[in-house]
Amino acid sequence: MSRRVVVTGVGLVSPLGIGTEANWKALCAGRSGIGAITRFDASQFSARIAGEVQGFDPLQFIEKKDVKKMDVFIQLAIAASQFAVDDAKLEVTAENATRVGVFIASGIGGFSTIEREHRALLEGGPRRISPFFIPAAIINLAAGQVSIRFGAKGPNSATCTACSASAHAIGDALEVIRRGKADVMIAGGSESAITPMGVGGFAAMRALSTRNDEPSRASRPFDRDRDGFIMGEGSGVIVLEELEHARGRGAPIYAELVGYGMSADAFHITAPSEDGDGGMRVMASALEDAGVGIEAVDYINAHGTSTPYNDKLETLAIRRLFGEHAAKLAISSTKSMTGHLLGAAGGLEAGITALAVRHQVAPPTINYETPDPACDLDYVPNTARPMKITYALSNSFGFGGTNGALLFKRYEE
């Protein structure tokens, strides 16, 4: 029998706030974190809105001499990890260090650092490139810096699977604990790609919403008038722990992580498969992993990006898998409030799903105003819903057709 794994800490930094409590309150209130881009002059861009993390001061989490060695996505990962570790009341010591690991993902990594150092090269030649450029920008340094911060010497890795990246990081961390290679894993993702190249690249694909005059109403998953996703930034990190280890030290327990699924669409570089097959199979895989039937699931935190195809095809995938039970599910996309955190989305939403199970509340899908005949399920429109949640899925689908699903269960002694 594989070892049981529970969530003992949640750390969230997003456009809704800095810290888990601030995020949960905003989610339950149905507040949008989307606004006009302030990081650069976006006046020439077709999409001029995003979900920026406001008021983040890295000096509250990182020594001044070290800040310049880290891109913003690494700084956000350290902050979220600190919140999660503190929440779990976890202390990494010389005795347990090799049994504590870190898996933190990113889809893009240090875009702002890459753009800055490229400008330095063009303006001043190679001598102007910072010696910290590479370690400040590469994706695995979020996990590396977090492990250094806490002295965690166990398994250390960084997945890079687009918008499924941190769901995969959490699922892979689950498997590490199940196999007995670690007792505790700090797992999730981080992203900060609201830069000229980041926004410009997604805008060139026509993937972004251009509802620039109504930023707070722009992200509207499953609504008929959705017109694209809104880029967000932030970090979501959870502490996963083997059950007896957690109980032995009296750790708080949010939920049990009981299932993990992966799948590939094998269809298109950006679009989901037209029959919803990949999404259906990844959810089925997570349920099979847990040994749970479809009727047990109460809530799904959907990938729900607010793009025309994604929302339609995720709905189709849910209908194909759950059949008649689909109509009984509560489904919400918290991207309606946070925007799409790309490689950090799965980490943020896994944390939100664990909170939903803990508090027995389904966060809403805000801006749901006009039903779409192709999206005909219960999307918890506009208002948070207290409800019984025993099993909850968190879906993450990425470019290249890579999918991840995590199944959480309400913890019972």
Which residues form the catalytic set? 163, 303, 340
As a whole number of angstroms, the distance between CA 134 and CA 129 comes to 10
**Two tokens at 176?**
């590490």
Amino acid at 82: Q
As a whole number of angstroms, the distance between CA 406 and CA 328 comes to 20
3-state DSSP of the chain: CCCCEEEEEEEEEECCEECHHHHHHHHHHCCCCCEECCCCCCCCCCCCEEECCCCCCHHHCCCHHHHCCCCHHHHHHHHHHHHHHHHHCCCCCCCCHHHEEEEEECCCCCHHHHHHHHHHHHHHCHHHCCCCHHHHHCCCHHHHHHHHHHCCCCCEECCCCHHHHHHHHHHHHHHHHHCCCCCEEEEEEEECCCCHHHHHHHHHCCCECCCCCCHHHCCCCCECCCCCECEECEEEEEEEEEHHHHHHCCCCCCEEEEEEEEEECCCCCCCCCCCCHHHHHHHHHHHHHHCCCHHHEEEEECCCCCCHHHHHHHHHHHHHHHHHHHHHCEEECCHHHHCECHHHHHHHHHHHHHHHHHHCEECCECCCCCEECCECCCCCECCCEECCCCEEEEEEEECCCEEEEEEEECCCC
Chain centre distance of CA 344:
4
Residue 288: how many other CB atoms lie within 10 Å: 14
Phi, psi of 364 (to 5 degrees): -85, 165
